[in-house]
Each structure stands twice: as C-alpha cells, then as structure tokens.
Amino acid sequence: MARREVMSKAKKSQNDEFYTQYVDIQKELNAYLEYNPDVFRNKIILLPCDDPEWSNFTKFFAQNFERFGIKKLISTSYAHERKHIEEPYQLTLFESESPKFDKSKTKTHGKIFTLDSDTNKSGRIDINDLKWDYLKGDGDFRSDEVKKLRNEADIIITNPPFSLFREFLAWIMEAKKQFLIIGSINCITYKEVFPLIKDNTVWLGNGMGRWISGFIVPKGYELYGSEAKIDKEGNRIVATNSCLWLTNLEHGKRHQPLQLMTYKDNLKYSKHKDIKENGYPEYDNYNAIDVSFTDSIPSDYKGIMGVPVTFLDKYNPDQFRIVGLGNGAELFGPSKIYENPVMHKNGKTSNGNAINRVLVYRTTEDSKVYYTADNVDYPLFAPYARILIEFKEENDENVA
C-alpha cells in the first residue's frame, strides 16, 4: 500500500490514533527555539487531543519546562470510550495506583494534566510535578470545558485527530491563538486552510513529507510492509510522507530566500530534463506559466507562475506573493470553460469535466492522459495541483 494511502486509510476508517514520535517533536520545536529562544517564556501552553500518560508532547514540554521558561503546561486527553480503538481498555499503573483513581470515570472521562510548580519540592519543576485529574466531560476539544482551557492558553500544540482537522483549526482560529499542529499535506488545498496560507496568517512549519519520520500506531493497527517498523521501545511505527506541520509561530526557514537561476539559464542548465526540453508551458485557461519544480522557478520572471504545492515548504513571504490556488471548484477561477470535455487515458475515453476545475496547458496526443473539448482543437494536459505565485517587487507594501 502506498504511503499516501496509509494516511487516507487512517482518515477514512476514523483511525485518529496516530501518535507523534519524540524525535519529530524535538526536531520541529528546536527550529522555533533557534529562531526565538524565548518563544515559550511565560506562556501557557495547551496540548489538547493528547494522551498525557504517555504522549511525547507532554513528555517533551514537561521535561523542558524550566529551560523554556514556561508559565503553565496543560495537557488533556479524550475519553477511551470515545476513541476508535478496537483493542481492550488498558488501565495504566499511573492511574490505577493514584488516590484519584475512579473506576466509574476511567473510561468515560477525559483527563487533564497540569504543570506549574514544584509540587514534590525537589528544587526544580519537571515531569514529576505533573498534577492530574479527571475532566468533568469526555475531553472533546469542542466541549465548553476544553474551550475554557483553550481561552486561557497562549499557544496550542498537538497532532489533532485527522478526521476533525478542519474543525480543529477553526477552533484555534476563532480563539486567535498561536499554534503548532500536524496535518496532512492535502490540507493545503482545503478551502478552510488555503486562504489563511495565502494571507500569511498561517504557514508551514519546518518540514513536510519525510521530515516527520513516522507515527506510533495502536497495537491493533495493521502494519504494511516497508512502511512499518517496531522501535527500540516496542512501539509500532508507520512511516508516511504525507504530513506537515502547520503554524503561526515564526521560524527562520520561512525567511530564507530561495536561490534561483534566470529563465534563460534554467533552459540551458536545469537539472530537470523536462525543463530543458519543454521549458515553461503557458496555461490555456489562466494567464501564467507552469513551473513543474520549485527549484526551477525562473528568478527573472515577472508574471504569475503555477508551482507544485510542495513549494510552500520553501515559501518565503518576503520573496513571493501567493496569488491563488490552481485547482479546486471553490478556490480556482479559470479564464476559460471547456465545453463537453473528454478525458483520454490509455486509449479509453471518459467524462473530462475535471479540467474545468484545474490549470491545463496544451499537449500532444502522445500523452498517456490528455483532454479534448468541443471549443478547442488541441489536446490539453492537467498537471498536479498547483499554487499560483509571483515574485514580490522590491519595496512592496505587503511584505509579511
């Protein structure tokens, strides 16, 4: 099964129990700390949709509480009964041996962990000072109880349930909080997400794809060949290349300019055969050129360019402006509508209406897949999803 499919399986089967590895949290968080060592100083940090008893987010922030100068750490979990987990409920020793243990609440209530003082009088505030209790409800992030914690927090950090990603982001945005969350790469093109990226209200974190090395999955989760491994602690890890970090916390990478060659030099020296042979096709239904690789963006091009969505991993808002999305019924406005479009694939034909929602350029009938329509007398090709960008002029007022 392809890696992308693993994530889509997680979404479809409502399997929201993909846990984040310590190493990935550390790697991402270090980049914000490098940019601003005081990013968490005197802040209240909320880690919702977590499982504080063994979550690596809680562990990471609790271990670094003093070093980061955090004011208060709050972490909440979702009631076991609400989770889509097939295996039997396993009570942790931590809970069962605590005087707070309540048999009537253990499966039905969420939990809250807080850290703000040296409760064990060891002389430092660390993971051993975490206090816990049952929440009044199930820990749903949409509940009034967790909303209150959100309102109290300065920064919200988590890997939220995949199936509720849109709702989760809206929940953060309505409270106007700083945040860092994990989502699927596909979220870039969601109508609830792309406008925020376009306006530089939110942006990608420090990496996407293989930057996140994998997720810990529940014992019952079926593992697939090369995507799966068992780590030193016996955790079952599923590797994906389809996730990213989304944030509104500043980091250095987004201010590094992309080093690029001119249009002419790309045609001569590009490492991509496609660019050297075919150059930059003009779209047939939008006034822009297609740039099939981010590193082939011509440094001296003045117009609009369609680039792969992975461009956002290199996007520097001081260098480029995002003009729009090159696909999707709601966010893309083509300059031309094709009448009765037909898709030709491997000698077979089918309905080609999809080309009215994407950028297309002229091709030849040798292409494996191409489109024709009643109002054009040439075949058309639809590249993968594109983002429309242009260079920012110097002294541009909209510099982010």
Ligand X SMILES: C[S@@+](CC[C@H](N)C(=O)[O-])C[C@H]1O[C@@H](n2cnc3c(N)ncnc32)[C@H](O)[C@@H]1O
Nearest Cα residue to 379 out of 400, 349, 399: 349
Binding pattern for the stretch 223-262 against ligand X, x by CB under 6 A and - elsewhere: ----------------------------------------
Q: Scanning residues 163 to 182, which ones bind ligand X (CB under 6 A)?
A: 164
Residue 16 beta carbon to ligand X: minimum distance, rounded to whole angstroms: 5
- Let me know if 248 is exposed, middle or buried by CB neighbors in 10 A (0-12, 13-18, 19+): middle
Site stretch for ligand X (CB under 6 A), options 50-58, 147-155, 294-302, 383-391:
50-58
State how far Cα 354 lies from the chain centre: 25
β pairing state of 178-184 and 155-158:
parallel
**Per CB under 6 A, 184 contacts ligand X:** no
**Per CB under 6 A, 134 contacts ligand X:** no
Site stretch for ligand X (CB under 6 A), options 43-51, 122-130, 218-226, 261-269:
43-51
**Per CB under 6 A, 16 contacts ligand X:** yes
**Per CB under 6 A, 141 contacts ligand X:** yes
DSSP letters along 28-42, please? HHHHHHHH-TTTTTT
Nearer to ligand X, 18 or 40 (CB): 18
Nearest Cα residue to 300 out of 267, 275, 264, 324: 264
**Per CB under 6 A, 283 contacts ligand X:** no
Site stretch for ligand X (CB under 6 A), options 49-57, 114-122, 235-243, 277-285:
49-57
**Per CB under 6 A, 183 contacts ligand X:** no
**Per CB under 6 A, 51 contacts ligand X:** yes
**Angle, alpha carbons 258-316-335 (nearest 5°):** 100
**Per CB under 6 A, 15 contacts ligand X:** no
**Per CB under 6 A, 205 contacts ligand X:** no
Tokens of 286: 């939008």
DSSP letters along 196-210, please? HHHTTSSEEEEEEGG
Buried b (16+ CB within 10 A) or exposed e, 199-224: ebebbbbbbbeebbebbbbeeebeee
**3 state DSSP class of 310:** helix
Distance CA 180, CA 212 (A): 14
Site stretch for ligand X (CB under 6 A), options 122-130, 152-160, 231-239, 315-323:
152-160
One residue of 7, 43, 55, 319 binding ligand X per CB under 6 A: 55
**Per CB under 6 A, 20 contacts ligand X:** yes
Which chain residues interact with ligand X by CB under 6 A?
16-20, 49-51, 55-57, 78, 83, 139-141, 158-161, 164
